[in-house]
Every structure is written in C-alpha cells, then in structure tokens.
Structure 1
Amino acid sequence: MAGKLIIKLILNGVVVLPLLITFTEASFASALLTAVLLSLVAFIIGDQLILRVSNNLIATICDAALAFVFLWLAAYVADWSLSTGELLTIVLVLGLIEAMYHRMLRELPAR
C-alpha cells in the first residue's frame, strides 16, 4: 500500500504543484502542502474506499469532484486568485492522471 501512495503523491505532485504555482500566487511550500494533503485525502477516499467497491470511471469522477472542492477550499482559505477556469484545468488534468493511475492499480497484484 505504501508504494501505491508514493506513486499517487508523485503523480499528483507533478500535476498539482506546478499548476498551483502557475495559476496562483501560492508559494512552493503552500502548493506542496496542498498537493500532499489532496493526495492523502484522495488516496483514502477515492482509491481505498470508492475504487474497491466501484470501477475506474466512478472513482475518477469522485476524485475529480473531491479535487475541485478541496482545491476551491484551499484557494479560498489561502486567499489565492484561482479562477473557475484554472480550477477546472487542474481538475481535468488531474482526472486524466487519476484514470491512468486507477487502471494501473487494478493491474497490480494485490498484497
């Protein structure tokens, strides 16, 4: 399970971190913290709960919805200027990455 979480952290970090820094005035540290927290929440809810009882499409939609709400709240709390279009861009890119990640999880042997 730790390996799957590390992969999730790397994939989400590669997507969320640079996009938050590009689209907002977030510092590297705050963007990194946001990406890590989003990854942890999405791993627990989307990958460990939803994906186990559903399919890739449902889990990806739930992960995208979770990312939208999480990033919107993070931007609100941190007072970042993240427009709806920018937020949707991050969520769409993240959704594509999540779909590939979920497919990879299904193909890995269970431990």
Structure 2
Amino acid sequence: MDVQVVHTLDWKTLEVHPMFAGGFQVVIRGETPWPMRVVLEPLPIGIVPEDYYGVKLVGYDEGPVHSDVVTPFEVEKDLAELPHGLVGVVIIGATMRAYIPPKAARPPR
C-alpha cells in the first residue's frame, strides 16, 4: 500500500487577476525541493462561520525522491471555485498566509 506524503508549501508570488468573463483568478508560483503535484486544498468546514475560510497550498510526492531537484510550480484557480468565509479566503502556506481580500481592505460590518 502506497502512502502519499503531503507537504504544506510556501510560495514566491501570489496574484489575483480579473478574468474576462467576470470574477477573479488566483495564481500562485513557487518552487518545491523535488518534483511534486501542487494543489489548493480546503480545510475542513467548522461549525461556526469564519470571516476567512482556509485553503492550504500542499504538495504531494510524485514517487520516490532520489535527489533534490528544485522544481518550479504554478497553481491557477478560479476564486469562485474556492470556499469562502463571511469575508473571503485565506491561502495558508508552511510559514505564510495571504488574505483575499486583504484584511485592511475588508468592508466594515
């Protein structure tokens, strides 16, 4: 039985771009220390709604790692496809977070 190893990853750039048909797309770029399949994974939904719903940037090993080979990655996702909290989404990395919309720009309640 194969065990998939999951790594929470950081990124070099995270951008939000408007799409032609409306809405927005989040584009995340970075590097992994070896080849991985990189995806955005929503955290389990809590009982109490939160302002920002968490989505982790994770990498899955694609097989046995024989040596370190720095591998660039790019993840693109329609923002409407990500689960939202009352205000927006927080992308969570190994040591960083990005709030969409930014906390400073959120509208008053």
Q: TM-score, normalised by structure 1?
A: 0.30
Higher strand share: 2
Give me the TM-score of the superposition, normalised by structure 2.
Answer: 0.30
